[in-house]
Every structure is written in structure tokens, then in C-alpha cells.
Structure 1
């Protein structure tokens, strides 16, 4: 019930630290952008890296070498995709979504809410979670490319230069 055999436990004790150190090395080489989660594609790669690490550590059918190759390949593919999306606008549009303004100057954009499948209740919740008691206090609520809601209060809207692409 607690373990099948001592060999399995020893395998985990040996493979887990080695795979972990390898993943750290791969992430250091490929850079911070690999785990930045700036969009949904980045999030998927982060989950895939975690899933691969868990499989390498826990599955007897996956060798450390196979797992190391898989981790390195996922990070390399993410690096190539991120580089290409910066340099090839068509690929950038395919890989990343555009941010969506859900509320502007205290008024919800009902069409944008409907298109993004977000209820007015969820919009109000995001405003409350940001610490504001009224929609009229908010200049923008933006559904970002990574799926998070940014709430920008009127008092902090400044020149609007952060929202120039919206």
C-alpha cells in the first residue's frame, strides 16, 4: 500500500534530483522568457514541462535520458517559438491573442464581455478584488493575453500610454 518495492523508491531518490537539476540548467540556458506565461501558449509549455518532469521522476517506463531530452526539447521549442513570434508578425498573431478591453471609463463593454465569455458579475468581482468599490473609479479592465484581468483605476490611468495598443 505504501510502496511496491525498494527499487522504485531508490529510483525516485536518484532520478528526481538529477531531473530537477537538469531542468534548472535548461531553464537558465533558455532564459526567463521560457516560463514567463505572457500568453496561453507559454502557460501550456510551463504545464508540459512540469508534467514531463513528473513523468520522468515517477514512471519506470521513461528513462532519465529520455526525460532530459524531452525537457530540453520542450524548452528549445519554446525558445524558438518565442524568438519567431518576436521577429515574424504572422506567427505572433497565430501564437498570441490580443488583449480585450472589457470596461472603459466605468462602462462595461457588453459586446467584449460576450465575445470573451465573461459575465458582468465576473467583471465586478475583478474590480472588487483590485480594491475598488465602484466601476466609475476604474478607467480600464483588460483581459490580457495570458488570461488575467488588469484593473486600472482612473486615478492611475496617467497618459494612457500603457493602453495605446488596445
Structure 2
């Protein structure tokens, strides 16, 4: 019975865990692809990360299939998959540590934020640089609850592809704070008037 199980399981286990490629190659492939993808995304701008339309989303989804063979090579083993996953996580951890310790490298790899709108005025050069259309920009500010560009104090495209939108009008919290200060000032004035009236009456 044991010999039968060994005969049946041994080829399956060998096929699952035997590496057809050297371990060093399995470690280097994901690292190289990772670095190349980071550089390509940096080169082609922040728009790809922002996923503004279905075309951008298709590109990002297709990237994983495009580089899959470059990462795994001719290897479908479980061991190869584990080594590849370890390599990707390791290079990402190393990059995170490097970026954390060096602002210069962070700026070089991630880039800087781009201001698209300031005080209700659109920066056309910045829009062109990021390959953003007016429809893209309106879609962004509409998602943030603004109806038109005039209501936006600042719209900024961050290096990670997210948008920061600041309204020109004060926020609800700012309004409440201003109202509270006005009421406190009014109470202080009333107290001062009462004190003055008492002194005059005395």
C-alpha cells in the first residue's frame, strides 16, 4: 500500500515542487520586472495610476498578463511561485525602506505633485504635461462634490495618481468655527457693556 502511494504521489510532488530554473534566476526575474515597471510608470506619468478612463484600466490590467511569463519563465511549480512572490515582496520592502530614508530618491522615482487648478484657474501646461483633458478634470472635481472649476481653490495630482481637491469656499467646519468666534465676540461685547453700565450706575 505504501509503495503504491509513493508511486502515485511521488511524480505529482516532483512536478509541483521541482524547479526547472535556477533559484538565482527565479529571484532576479521578478526584481528586474519590478524595477522596469516602476521606471515605465514614472516615465509615462501619473495618469496611468489615476485610472481616469476604461483605457487606463485596461492597460494596468493587461500589464500583469504581459509580464507574467517574464517573471515566472517556463516554470509552473509551486516552489517557483513561492520564490517569485518572495522576490517581489522583498524588492518592494527594500524600495520602501530606501524611499523612507531618502527624499531625493523618493522625488526622483515617484516624481512630484502637479497643480492643475489654482484659485479657479486651470494650468493648461500642467494639463497637457499629464495628458489630462477637460473632461477628465471635470470628472475629478464632480466626484469631490464641486459643480465647476470656479468652486475649486486647488486641484493637485499626487505622484501616486490620486487627486487632492480643495474648495474655494470655506468648509462646514470652518464656517462653524467662524460662527462660534463671532458669538464669543458678541458675548464679550455684551459683558463689557454690562460692566460699563454698572460702573456708570454706581
| Alpha-carbon distance between aligned partners in 2 of 1:90 and 1:150, rounded to the nearest angstrom | 22
Select 2:139's aligned residue among 106, 120, 125.
125
Q: Which has the larger radius of gyration?
A: 2
SS for the counterpart of 1:101 is strand
What are structure 2's unaligned runs of at least 5 residues? 1-11, 17-40, 43-48, 50-59, 175-202
Question: How far off is 1:137 after superposition?
Answer: 1.4
Distance 1:62 1:122, change over 3 A: same
Question: How far off is 1:119 after superposition?
Answer: 1.5
Equivalence for 1:138: 152
Question: How far off is 1:60 after superposition?
Answer: 9.1
SS for the counterpart of 1:150 is strand
Question: How far off is 1:150 after superposition?
Answer: 2.2
| Alpha-carbon distance between aligned partners in 1 of 2:144 and 2:104, rounded to the nearest angstrom | 34
Equivalence for 1:107: 121
Query: How many residue pairs get matched?
Result: 112
Equivalence for 1:87: 101
Question: How far off is 1:140 after superposition?
Answer: 1.2
Relative to total residues, which structure has the larger helix share, 1 or 2? Answer: 2
Distance 1:84 1:60, change over 3 A: closer
| Alpha-carbon distance between aligned partners in 2 of 1:97 and 1:60, rounded to the nearest angstrom | 35
| Alpha-carbon distance between aligned partners in 2 of 1:145 and 1:126, rounded to the nearest angstrom | 16
- Deviating above 3 A after TM superposition, structure 1's stretches of 4 or more consecutive aligned residues are none
Between stretches 115-124 and 100-109, larger displacement belongs to: 115-124
Equivalence for 1:67: 81
| Alpha-carbon distance between aligned partners in 2 of 1:88 and 1:125, rounded to the nearest angstrom | 35
Report the aligned-residue RMSD: 3.1
